[in-house]
Amino acid sequence: MRLFLIPISTRRTLVYAQRLNKVIHAEPSYADKASAKAANVWFQWETGKAGWQRWITDAGNRLFNRIPHEEWSLKSIPPLSARRRDGGVDKQKIEVLYPPSVIQEKNVFPILQRLSTERNQIHRTRMIWSIVGMPIVAPFAIVPVIPNIPFFYLLYRAFSHWKALSGAKHLEFLLSRNLLAPTPATSLESVYRPIMLRMEPGKKRSCQLTHEEVMLIRKGSAQEIASVTGIPALAAECERACKQVEEHIKEDLKKKKLE
């Protein structure tokens, strides 16, 4: 595994874990089997003809896009294995690749520390409420033909929050054991250096002094980042993050104007 730090704005950075040597077990776990089956059913519904199945997948995809990008990125980090936790694997450090034109090496660990802790309470609380809500909506199963969508949605959200928490805990563990190695990524420089050069010096200084948030990449940069890193999945992650961060910046500007 190796980690990528992808700056989205002057305040927000996305962390993404790339699995280099994914272990394939002879017998998949129940979670893997359930995830694979759910993904297959969702794909069939999504590509099917118009009807209630297609309507559900369209509505579901809109809901998924509203899930915070921080949650998606933490879910990319696999749960901490018992072997690593107990010291049963080698102590080889994990690379953390970052664009040096945007992130200084001294700031890599503080950024990762913040990302590993800032949303833990949110995920923990919402996971509990999702679990609590499942028995409440379980009676909807008596409705014929249509599956119990509220139940499966809460099940998915509980699992999603658990995965995000697990990723955060793994990241915390790596930080506490000094198992991370910041590594400048020359591939990412091809994306960020032109952006930083175009940014006016006065604007840079203003952002530093006032902590003003400015977008560093746009939705169109997502495919380029996926291409230079060789990780196709990063395109969707960056697109989602850009859209959400842009909306946050617009909301903050509206609030400031009303003050």
Place of tokens 């309470």: 121
This prediction has a pTM of 0.82
Give me the numbers of helices (H) and strands (E) for the chain, helices first please: 11, 4
86: in domain: yes
Q: 18 lies in which domain range?
A: 2-119+158-252
Residue 97 included in any domain: yes
Give pLDDT tens digits for 137-162: 877 666 655 677 788 888 889 999 99
Question: Is residue 127 domain-resident?
Answer: no
- What are the tens digits of pLDDT across the range 172-198? 999 999 999 999 998 898 889 888 877
pLDDT at 219 over 80: yes
Q: In sequence order, which residues have a C-beta less than 8 Å from that of residue 184 and are 6 or more positions away?
A: 97, 98, 99, 100, 105
* pLDDT score recorded for residue 35: 58
* Average pLDDT score over residue span 67-80: 92
The answer to whether residue 27 sits within a structural domain is: yes
Q: Is 182 exposed, middle or buried (0-12, 13-18, 19+ CB in 10 A)?
A: buried
103, part of any domain: yes
Is residue 8 included in any domain, yes or no? yes
pLDDT at 156: 87
Altogether, the residues listed in the chain come to a count of 259
Pairing mode, strands 180-184 and 13-18: unpaired
pLDDT at 24: 47
Residue 7: pLDDT band (50, 70, 90) is: very high
Counting the structural domains of the chain, the total is 1
DSSP 37-77: HHHHHHHHHHTS-SSHHHHHHHHHHHHHHHS-HHHHHHHTS
Sign of CA dihedral 216, 220, 223, 228: negative
